[in-house]
Structure 1
């Protein structure tokens, strides 16, 4: 017998007989672990040692949960139980006494039920027998709505809403959800400078983790100042993060800092009789592997890709977060971009759904997500993109009611014109841009609103809610019609930025116009007008954040401007590399000099030098250069449309739910291997008639050709670019 002690409860586990068993995992009410974990993570933020919590509403998990499942066993079996919280266990409504850690389930048809209360953690169970195991086929509810009459007879109908249980990868009885921790590994500094008893360390590149002091002894103070730049770590009065320790330690010991920090440089200062033998770190990370890749003839682009991938990994933690130094919060707009980059690098669906659920929280809805109007709308768009890439109908059916209640909140905040306008408590963000007006009915918000309503129509269809699918479709069409009727300026060949008091402004910005291109809301003539009069027009206010450069360059790629975008990537992201960046930043303005690059929000080192939205080359290179994208959910059909864009050659992989699409392309040859599921279409142009021995190339006119790519098959096409 082995005995395991978890915080707040005891679980007894007897080793099972050596026969094949079904997989057991910890389960909970769907979305509750994500909410609980998000609360814990987002409340670790500090600024110069001061606790700084989020400024939006945080929801809580349900603390009393019913779990049950029906089983039909050919023979009785012994079942081990572990539970987070107080609980009772029933078979066919009859309770076992006490808190059993092991029960016997008889042969035949039986219902196994557990009711669990836990307030400080998420109520969760682990059940392991040969056939009786806990998994995501169990049903759960937070209110059973049962009652009994005066004779003691239980109600025949309770009106309970049962959902499928939530789970992740907690497959061991020893690792309940509450004990989840990111992985760590020790790392030394690449350079250590000692001045007396103090240390200045350079870890070689931006990193994240806990500082470890080796051989700490003496009496006095240890002050640790962290910096993404050397200047920040040395400027002890204004660096963003620090640790202060009061030491009274006669014997040498090692000490690990309680909270993780982001840094490249670390300045360790001591006083009194304190001494330290050495300093290292524990690097903290989510162990998720890359499935996508990209290499090409341009080494600077290869470096940009590698740094972008590292930037995304650092910000892929319990959730997709904004940046590792400052906020370390879950921002919906930032996360939406991480989802897209993830589909071309890791294709880790659990990270997407964890983040979506943590952002959504619980009903009732009392404010926009992160208090930002556009961030609520990005949440819906994230659902749309998730379905297109994964085809996960089960997720949509399970959480459709939460989508509905959030959309009802948005619909309730429309003005008399049926459009969204910032009300009290609404933050209309759009972008960090000097002088950008947020007044009135902003065209960008209406465009996101239309796409969100289209998402709801799609989700309603999946959830078999035909009446609301029709309603959402009608509302989406109405908002799109108003978008063009109210904002399209024929003379400017663009959507204007806003209407104030019902009057369109003359100002044209890039935001709604570039989204309108890759949302495919414009006619071909309008797209060309927008490209020339907005996207390629230097008189239109320029974008200085990687956040919106992401979408600007996507719009240009969608218009076939890959050569232009390649040069922009080299100038913008390459510009950061030339300044010594080892991860990509929250904002980059090439006109700034020296330490000016570190300032933001009125603070000397307020800018994040490792921000998730800086990693967009991953997405651009995968979708618009390798040219792979789904044309039906889960890559049931997909397009491969390689664009060298001035490169001599490129090669890479794009992950899908079932395998990868592998591509190598030069100016004379394209080699492609299809994914294990779905049918692809290779589309390309050639000056001469292409040759492919493995399949039939079809001419589609104007020098364009297509080839059907079957599941798992390899094709080599000779052509002339």
Structure 2
């Protein structure tokens, strides 16, 4: 039974969320600006637990399948400061607390204190079982921010004489923050904002209303003008068929009505739907229905337009799909599961870099997925999802250049990698052990037995990530160790899995012998990981990627990587046709968001079934939004070549289009590109770039020198804040 949402309570949450909207995704540490702080990762873990445990299906609670960690309940915060003059400091705390200056405790729970001029240490020890211990400190100079040090384990002790220990074993780290910048915007009160939206069509009968909101959406259903006594039941549907199937739809809510006067009623649970079939007893009347659309207030900065209207529609629907699945964290789907899955999230990070460039949602998701030590299982219990977590760290640094986050996360990277390495077999390869789920993809008959080549590739890339981050940490010996280990594993991959006769990596080894099966996964990843020689790439393109005898991929999840591999090899023309066929195929069936799985061979309502359930498939799945990434990175051609876009490349490829234009967000502004068959225009707000293109005639550029690189390839250096126009002839 779902309770009526208290509208007064909801209004409070909306107010909190809206006032946070403008500061929702700013950087954590802002000089001289106070913000709520906590032990890094604790708030993210706590919030993800709250979000993921909201899942219900037909009134049944469905918790996640994996271990959930909790926040530290007792945390010490401190800051050393030299004040030029005395100041009054405002204090906000979530939890019980002890406040000290220079080791001297204040009585009670002060909301403000006076600090004299000079050098001082202010410290707070906070206990909170219900939500992460958090503090807010605001003075003229003393403010709580990410420069504060925190610990969950204060190992100080005092001997019998009253003397404190000379040597401390306490480990301190910099505080975490999410820019809750006012004392009354406490972190535990956070809610996403909502806005009311109306249906586009309603079919009303005596005791039911079928409501169509025109497209996939997410939020709280609101019944208008409700009166009487009896039961109201809501059947939700991503499709009309699902809403009209009371016995097999995935989501439904019931509510007992007892109202003598007409009033509006808002259901408590947020749901995914396009259609809502509202049924009510004869003693109940309902005038109308609307919804409160719940959303994350991210700013869409990326854009793409071209001469092909179907591609424009694909980009727009992909952007809306990602928007719906961008919430407190990147989730997999808004109907099912509404959980944070590492493989799904890894793709969302990539799309985010070309649509929002919202770094905080990435870091929150990475913190939430990693959880805490000790490590007892793979992330989401899936071996490949553990490795995608490492890859997410690698890409995050490349796109953002954020060393501070790497510093905070590195100890958790170390412990997780050590746990993985301890699970290798006698040949130094990863193999599924009891409790491990080797996923790879949803594909009929896909073997997970033995040592799967795909898992070794992901481990190899993860060890390369460890080497990169160890270098950033100044851990030279550890960096060298990981470089050596990754090089040795790469050699083993080709020794154990490369089959010269098949011209490809085989899928697996069983009992020390290659299997005959060749699948697309290892081969396409090896292309954009750049593990193949050029000759091997061409061989694999022919024997695997362009070979219809190799089992086809039917999920947008792995289609993402397949098309990326083809784009890496310059096959933009073929990829454009596939985007129009595959994603366009979903649009032709009436999709308003992209699906978890699409098989063109299916027909009718069979498109909605999955997991042995008639409507089990998610029709709004984050991994369906990959055209955002493909069109930004491989058609507009923008990607960083040094961390944080300090250096970057623009290599536009029309791929069969007549013209295209768009912008790609970066940490410090946007990169804009317009390209047709005769002219390329670019400008950038950041870094130093290289425009690279091919031309059948000698190109010209008034704003910069054109450098010939051979084989009709030319380059122009791009400076920050300057506009460039190149006259050329597309090949």
Are residue 668 (structure 1) and residue 678 (structure 2) matched? yes
> How far apart, in 2, do the equivalents of 1:414 and 1:266 lie?
50
Are residue 449 (structure 1) and residue 462 (structure 2) matched? no
| Offset from partner CA, 1:314-349 (integer Å, 9 cap, x none) | 000010000000100000000000000000000000
| Offset from partner CA, 1:605-651 (integer Å, 9 cap, x none) | 00000000000000000000000011111111111000000000000
Q: Could you tell me which of 529, 537, 540 is aligned with 1:519?
A: 529
> How far apart, in 2, do the equivalents of 1:525 and 1:141 lie?
53
Q: Could you tell me which of 321, 332, 336 is aligned with 2:331?
A: 321
Are residue 685 (structure 1) and residue 694 (structure 2) matched? yes
Shift of 1:45: 0.6
Shift of 1:21: 10
> How far apart, in 2, do the equivalents of 1:633 and 1:457 lie?
15
In structure 1, the partner of 2:614 is 604
Shift of 1:276: 1.6
> How far apart, in 2, do the equivalents of 1:251 and 1:80 lie?
47
Q: For structure 2, list consecutive stretches of 5 or more residues without a partner in the other structure.
A: 1-11, 14-29
> How far apart, in 2, do the equivalents of 1:342 and 1:518 lie?
19
> How far apart, in 1, do the equivalents of 2:188 and 2:282 lie?
40
Q: How many residues align?
A: 703
> How far apart, in 2, do the equivalents of 1:82 and 1:62 lie?
19
Correspondence 1:535-614 to 2 at 5 A: 535-614=545-624
Given the superposition, is the C-alpha separation of residues 424 and 263 from structure 1 closer, same or farther in structure 2, using an over 3 Å criterion?
Answer: same
Correspondence 1:2-401 to 2 at 5 A: 22-401=32-411
Superposition RMSD in Å: 1.2
Q: Could you tell me which of 438, 444, 466 is aligned with 2:476?
A: 466
In structure 1, the partner of 2:486 is 476
User: Is 2:39–2:150's contact at 8 Å kept on the other side of the alignment?
Assistant: yes
Q: Could you tell me which of 693, 708, 711 is aligned with 1:702?
A: 711
User: Is 1:21–1:129's contact at 8 Å kept on the other side of the alignment?
Assistant: no
Moved more, 192-201 or 447-456: 192-201
In structure 2, the partner of 1:507 is 517
> How far apart, in 1, do the equivalents of 2:326 and 2:348 lie?
8
SS across alignment from 1:275: strand
User: Is 2:332–2:338's contact at 8 Å kept on the other side of the alignment?
Assistant: yes
> How far apart, in 2, do the equivalents of 1:21 and 1:574 lie?
48
SS across alignment from 2:613: coil
> How far apart, in 1, do the equivalents of 2:169 and 2:225 lie?
62
Shift of 1:158: 2.1
SS across alignment from 1:131: coil
> How far apart, in 2, do the equivalents of 1:379 and 1:400 lie?
13
SS across alignment from 2:709: strand
**TM-score w.r.t. structure 2 length?**
0.95
> How far apart, in 2, do the equivalents of 1:698 and 1:665 lie?
19
User: Is 1:228–1:263's contact at 8 Å kept on the other side of the alignment?
Assistant: yes
Q: For structure 1, list consecutive stretches of 5 or more residues without a partner in the other structure.
A: 1-5, 8-19
User: Is 1:21–1:130's contact at 8 Å kept on the other side of the alignment?
Assistant: no
| Offset from partner CA, 1:575-598 (integer Å, 9 cap, x none) | 000000000000000010000000
Shift of 1:464: 1.4
Shift of 1:185: 0.2
In structure 2, the partner of 1:12 is none
Are residue 417 (structure 1) and residue 427 (structure 2) matched? yes
> How far apart, in 1, do the equivalents of 2:115 and 2:631 lie?
55
> How far apart, in 2, do the equivalents of 1:601 and 1:595 lie?
14
Shift of 1:277: 2.1
Moved more, 156-165 or 373-382: 156-165
User: Is 1:21–1:131's contact at 8 Å kept on the other side of the alignment?
Assistant: no
Shift of 1:156: 2.5
> How far apart, in 2, do the equivalents of 1:708 and 1:238 lie?
59
| Offset from partner CA, 1:70-125 (integer Å, 9 cap, x none) | 11111111111110000011000001100001100110110111110000111000
